[in-house]
Amino acid sequence: MNRWLLPEDIADVLPAEARKVESLRRAILDLYQSYGYELVAPPILEFLDSLLTGTGSDLNLQTFKLVDQLSGRTLGLRADMTPQVARIDAHLLNREGVTRLCYAGSIAHARTPVGSSAREELQLGAEIYGCATWEADFEAISLLLKTLSVAGLNKVYLDLSHAGVLEGILDGQTIAKTDIETLYSLLQSKDRPRLAIWAKCLPAKSAEALMALTELNGPCAQVLANAKKALPKHKLVDEALAQLEKLVCATATLASDVELSVDLADLRGYQYHSGVMFAAYVDKLPQPIARGGRYDHVGQAFGRPRPATGFSMDLLTLANLAPVAQRKSAIVAPWAFDADLAIKIAELRNAGEVVIQAMSGDAVETAEYFCDRELVVQGGSWEVNKK
């Protein structure tokens, strides 16, 4: 057996890429700090019942499980940090006002997610707790677009949806959990023939509205206008469409390179979300680079109802899509026990230069730096010369 082999869809991050990831992480977390977000770092392992509180079956299937030898209880290796951050807000911080939290940490999936080639991700995200108005959703979208801009991804396709639309359509209907999961799957795939069969158990107006959802996607103004005509008059539906209109108008003012659309059947993540939902797409990536939205029910599951909205993404994927940074210039210095040389190297490093000391006769091999200068003795002192 080759001991250097890794499990399927698990990979190392090599030097140049690792530096790119870390530079992005620092820049993005500094951006979040400028907005007033506080950094949290939940543990990678938790008791399973806490880790999955307020989530659906999808996350349960994606979670690695093991037995804690100290307590005998089942532990989970987190597959998503959002429930952990909600727990921190609800039980550890326990604040009454608005709280802004951000995070960056590893997550692992028991199964390779659809559209991905990796079971380990470096999840980056930001969440707003305690604000129930659409302005919090707008701040989350604004910060997401800023995040992508920091990575050099300015051409963004933002797709909006709202969980309240379907909630309004199904209001008053008693539907089993497994049937609801089937419904969401049919809506996401826009499988109209099977959806028509599934909807036969519903009143005619509800069934017609479900069928209409599969066609309510495209340019924002057109979709929202058609939705007002095609969907039943209901408080939850009306409120959802009104919130989407406000977000569309506000988001359109942020950047000219953002292309907005609405897809009222795109309800992936429904097990979390309770309001506005959004997905950001960029060129060269078939699946969303980031997803987010409102998920008020997760905090409620922890025994402390708190409005919540936010987004998350995989930093490794983001770094892979970001433009390749130029290699940093470096200075090669000889390895010698020389007090003047040591002082000169320290001065250069303090000034921000990269100085690599090489043994005599050894070539410097590096993917991150190009060595275009060297330290040599000139006139009794150490000077930097071009190679």
**Annotated binding-site members:** 80-82, 123, 127, 268
**Interatomic CA distance for residues 258 and 380, integer angstroms:** 59
* Strand ranges in the chain using DSSP code E only, listed in sequence order: 38-39, 45-47, 64-67, 74-77, 99-108, 120-129, 156-162, 217-218, 258-263, 276-281, 290-294, 308-314, 328-334, 354-358, 369-378, 381-386
Instruction: Tell which residue, 253, 314, 280, 319, has the closest CA to residue 145.
Output: 280
Which residues are known binding-site members for L-histidine? Answer: 80-82, 123, 127, 268
Output 241-248 pairs: Cβ under 8 A, ≥24 positions apart.
241/162, 241/165, 243/134, 243/137, 243/162, 243/164, 243/275, 243/276, 244/160, 244/162, 244/220, 244/276, 246/134, 246/138, 247/134, 247/137, 247/138, 247/141, 247/160, 247/276, 248/160, 248/220, 248/221, 248/224
The DSSP secondary structure of 146-215, one letter per residue, reads HHHHHTT---EEEEEEEHHHHHHHTTT----HHHHHHHHHHHHHT-HHHHHHHGGGS-HHHHHHHHHHTT
B/e letters for 245-277, b = 16+ CB within 10 Å, e = fewer, are bebbebbeebbeebebbbbbbbbbbbbbbbbbb
DSSP 81: S
C-alpha 161/C-alpha 360 separation (Å) is 63
Contact 82, 127 (CB under 8 A): yes
